[in-house]
Chains A and B, each alone.
Chain A
Amino acid sequence: MNPVPDIFRILPEVILTLTGVAVMLIDASLPPGTARRPLGWVAAIGTTLALWASLWQFSLPEGMGFYNTVETSAFTVFFHVLICGIVLVALLLSLDTLPEDSHHQGEYYALVTFGAVGMCLLTGAVELLVVFIALEISSISTYILAGYRKETGKGPEAAIKYFLLGSFATAFLLYGVAMVFGATGTTQIYEIARLVPLAQNHSLILLSLGLMLVGILFKVSAAPFHVWTPDVYEGAPSPVVALMSTAPKAAAFALLLRVIYEMFPTLRSVWSPLLWVVAVLSMTVGNLAALRQQNVKRMMAYSSIAHAGYLLAAFAGLGSTGISAACFYTAAYAAMNVGIFAVITLASGYDEEFPLIEDFRGLVYRSPMVGGLLLFFLVSLVGIPFTGGFFGKFYSFSAAVGGGAIWLAIIGLLNSGLAAAYYLRLALAAASRPDNQKSAAPTPQVGIAVGAALLLAVAATLVLGIVPGATLHAAEQSAHTLQAPQAETAAPATAAAPVDPHPLP
């Protein structure tokens, strides 16, 4: 049997890199006055190719390449497809909403594609140094993108805040890598997993776990590492927020799953209570703070913190149910969050002269389509059945209940009731009659690219809500590839094993 050429293992990343370089080169060679918008189409086409390449990777035999540093498996394909999909939608969204006269459009599209390279690589890497490099690639692109509106005061503020805190968190992660290297003498994840139970210096490993968790939880903006989120989301342009609130988080969750379930499955008794606390904190802090926000983007920032909490609830699940629930939730969250930020971009404009909830008043009347979509995505975020948001929560909390964490599920679902209050505040503002005196906010215009982006997001949200079977199947497959063999046996039985379902009279 022929071994798979190494290059195929990173084909999507290669395509994305080439796209990014091409965009930059074309940008540089174009005369200054010409429109940069076609570059966005180049990036979108490249991303579509990468998406296709990720799907194609599914037909590869599972395995690792480049001296066991990257792997392709159902797990990596799942996240590659997800991330490429998000990036594609974000690019389409930017195409119609970035102002025509912006000189830096070329850089923008190149940075988005480079960021996508980092995120994709992050989900495929099984070597901690590659993980670190990938994380840096994705983070640095996002830092720059966050400050893209540098003429405003808030843009650079957001970028600097994000950069300083983010580098700090990455340092934590790197320090954790160093610790685990010190304890086991390797940075290859499978090797570490094999050596951890045998390692002499247990405290070093615990320290490493803690440090790495801090680094990753910062990236997914879970409480208490969430303080950067609202400021950055408020300062960054909305299309960028659509991207950075979903894709890097999906990648970071993939990394978290890998670290937790593949590297340290034997330390379940340590990370399980930690993540329990973080999940409860994130949901509660996120939702309580969101209740008080007047700015829509800040509100959605806190909402994304709460959603990180719901997702972390899945980690209480035993074995593969937890992993597949987390994968599914990531997909559902990404679909609806990209969608709602697309709507926010359209409604409040690129320059965000109308960022408050009050400014959304009468949106349904001004533009029935955009208003209707806003309601649709809000309904999904609330978690009403037959939308992706419902099944995301459903799987996450049923994993928690299955793992014996009943209280986590109860707190989570009560939180989702709390969350309904602020989602509804926005929904009701959009659905109530506009004031005739104050109709300053413009009617949103929906172009072809944005229309396609919205269509993709709506379709994904509906498919995940009505026929979640296929995605769940993919998530389960990826869960199986991720689960190291010893994990099943090592996981302590915290819940009573389910009784035989067919003993009936």
Chain B
Amino acid sequence: MNAINESILTLILLVPLAGAVLVALVPDRAKLPNWIALLTALATFGLTLHLPTHFAAGTDGFQFVANIPWIESPAIFYHVGVDGLSMWLVVLAGLLAPVGVVASWNAVKERRKVFYSLFLVQQTAMFGVFISLDLMLYYGFWELSLVPMAILIAMYGRKDGPKAALKFFLFTFIPSAPLLVAILWLYARTGTFDFTTLQLWIASGAIPAGPLFWVALAFLFAFAVKVPVFPLHGWLADTFSEAPVALAMVVAGKLGLYSMLRFHIGLFPAQARTVAPVLIGLAVIGILYGACLALVQRDFWRLIAFAAVSHLSLITLAIYGLTFTGWDGAVYQILSHGVVDAALFLLLGVLCDRYSTSQIGDYGGLATKLPRTATFFVIATLTMIGLPMLSGFVGEFMILSSTFIGVSKGWAIAAAVGVILGAGYMLWLVQRLFYGPESALATSKPPQDLRLGQLAILCPLAVLMLVMGLAPTLWMPAIEQGVHPPQLRALPQAPKHVLLLQSSNSFLGEAQR
């Protein structure tokens, strides 16, 4: 059993890679590449499920760890492991892989080998980002994830793929330059890239605070672009309208938000506290700005893009509110958002392929023709706008309440306005797409509802949204273990809504007072 636990993360990394090589080698006949990609994705998902079933709840630190020297000088280790924070993200990424394959099943018609091969490489890179505990390894996967994404956007873009790919690549590549310098600087000071060792180094105060501020800022900048946080969101709308559905699902949010929690707040708590007010402000602007722009979009990809800006800003608000409840809510919301977005993208992708337009105005009255599509779309929409008993509500409620109590009432009210606007543009979108008089476009083609494969993937997603809404306790213990520092949790009745890190250096000092 131990051997499995130690190698499971490595397997999760290697299986998609092996699948990618296999896809590249087999002949492009019938649906062979599709099937191999699907089987690989399902196998990987199966492997990721090993993590929650064997996760030792209530144990601090990282689990399923493998730590092997990779390069002697500078000392880079192949150090991987997960805690409650990253474990669910790995599972989420695993879940989205088969969803992505199914979403591309009919949409990608030519060069399927290239597509699925790069898609699987992309999976490996994402898993790598979530499980790396060595900063260089992490940086490696972080950069690697850009390449397949950029190539796929360029080759499979809807209209102007290359331009969107260039924009995406530069937007995310250039900020990683300061990130690398910051990592190298830390190494020059401490001689290690190891996450936990660096955490102790920085907490011990041995590194002067002046430069450390800039180092932390370099980390934050790279992550903020990736999320994206207002005003760094310029790439998102183009990428969403061009990227193949399978990639648009994974491009925004998760990687950046996870990195903020793990590598910005996790490594530099004091510096994070300094910049938190700025980020809270930007996040609230992002919530309202994204929502307002989403209201006026005529193209549904762009609408979803600005909706994403709004939702991701809400999560950013929770992260930089620096409250425990906020963090729990943030992680939960990342998971929920991942599932809902996948479903929405899948459905919009179906529409876009069928009617080859993404102009909302061309649609209308599809509900009678495509009842299943409409049903699932409404379920996903309701989840997205945070209807109670569905997964979106849990995270949203925790975020708003923690902001209200722990940060400031004003920000919470502003954020809540954004959430209300969110309900507005999403429901309006449903109305314009599926209800009202039947449009010329809807009558132009014979109706064809969801296929079996799509149903097979959407039903579990819908069930998942419901279960996540009803029983968050299935997920919460591990998340709490991940985002709550052990010192604080050990105290009896730790106050949950405390504003963390009000003073001095470490979590510990705060807790003991």
Contact = CB atoms under 8 A, between A and B. Distances in A.
Interface of A: 364, 368, 375, 379, 382, 384-386, 390, 394, 397-398, 401-402, 406, 409-410, 413-414, 416-418, 420-421, 424-425, 427-429, 431-432, 468-469, 472-473, 476, 495, 498-499, 501, 503-505
B154 A476 contact: no
A431 B74 CA distance: 36
A385 B71 contact: no
Given A364-B114, A472-B73, 15 more contacts: A375-B151, A386-B144, A394-B184, A401-B187, A410-B177, A420-B174, A424-B150, A424-B166, A424-B170, A431-B151, A469-B70, A498-B190, A501-B191, A504-B197, A505-B200
Given A398-B184, A428-B165, A499 B189 contact: yes
B365 to A, nearest CB: 35
Interface string B13-56: 00000000000000000000000000000000000000000000
A501 B192 contact: yes
B141 interface: yes
Interface string B178-202: 1011001101111110000100110
B147 interface: yes
A413 B179 CA distance: 10
B154 A428 contact: yes
Given A421-B166, A498-B189, A401 B184 contact: yes
B143 interface: yes
B21 to A, nearest CB: 13
A385 B173 contact: no
A487 B104 CA distance: 60
B366 to A, nearest CB: 31
Q: Of B70, B114, B188, B200, which is in contact with the most chain A CB atoms at under 10 Å from its CB?
A: B188
Interface in B135-163: 136, 139-141, 143-144, 146-147, 150-151, 154-155, 161-162
Given A398-B188, A501-B192, A385 B73 contact: no
B184 A397 contact: yes
A473 to B, nearest CB: 8
A386 B173 contact: no
A14 to B, nearest CB: 35
A417 B177 contact: yes
Interface of B: 70-74, 114, 136, 139-141, 143-144, 146-147, 150-151, 154-155, 161-162, 165-166, 169-170, 173-174, 176-178, 180-181, 184-185, 187-192, 197, 200-201, 204, 206
Contacts of A402: 184, 188
A431 B191 contact: no
B181 A413 contact: yes
A502 B324 CA distance: 31
B185 A401 contact: yes
A401 B186 CA distance: 10
Given A499-B190, A504-B197, A505-B204, A428 B170 contact: no
Contacts of B72: 469, 472-473
B146 to A, nearest CB: 7
B188 A476 contact: no
Given A385-B143, A402-B188, A417 B206 contact: no
A498 B188 contact: yes
B177 A413 contact: yes
A420 B155 contact: no
A364 B113 CA distance: 13
A417 B71 contact: no
A410 B181 CA distance: 6
B201 A398 contact: no
B74 A398 contact: yes
B177 A476 contact: no
Contacts of A420: 169-170, 173-174
Contacts of A398: 74, 184, 187-188
A385 B161 contact: no
Contacts of A425: 166
Contact of B206 (A364, A390, A503): A503
Given A398-B187, A414-B174, A504-B201, A431 B155 contact: yes
Nearest to B200: A504
A386 B70 CA distance: 12
B74 A421 contact: no
A368 B27 CA distance: 14
7 contacts: A397-B181, A397-B184, A414-B177, A428-B162, A469-B72, A498-B191, A499-B189
A468 B150 CA distance: 26
B512 to A, nearest CB: 15
B91 to A, nearest CB: 25
B155 A406 contact: no
Contacts of A409: 181, 184
Nearest to A418: B174
Contacts of B162: 428-429, 431-432
B178 A410 contact: yes
A468 B72 CA distance: 9
Nearest to B203: A505
Contacts of B192: 501
B172 to A, nearest CB: 10
Contact of A401 (B165, B178, B181): B181
A505 B200 CA distance: 8
B147 A384 contact: yes
Contacts of A384: 143-144, 146-147
Nearest to A403: B188
A418 B177 CA distance: 10
Nearest to B151: A431
A504 B204 contact: yes
Contacts of B197: 504
B166 A413 contact: no
A476 B174 contact: no
B247 to A, nearest CB: 15
B139 A385 contact: yes
B186 to A, nearest CB: 10
A385 B178 contact: no
Contacts of B191: 498, 501
Contacts of A505: 200, 204
The 6 closest A-B pairs by CB, nearest first: A413-B177, A385-B140, A501-B191, A417-B174, A428-B162, A401-B184
Contacts of B150: 424
B204 A385 contact: no
B188 A379 contact: no
Nearest to B174: A417
B189 A476 contact: no
A428 B188 contact: no
A114 B485 CA distance: 67
B47 to A, nearest CB: 22
Contacts of B141: 385
A476 B74 CA distance: 12
Q: Of A406, A468, A495, which is in contact with the most chain B CB atoms at under 10 Å from its CB?
A: A406
Contacts of A469: 70-72
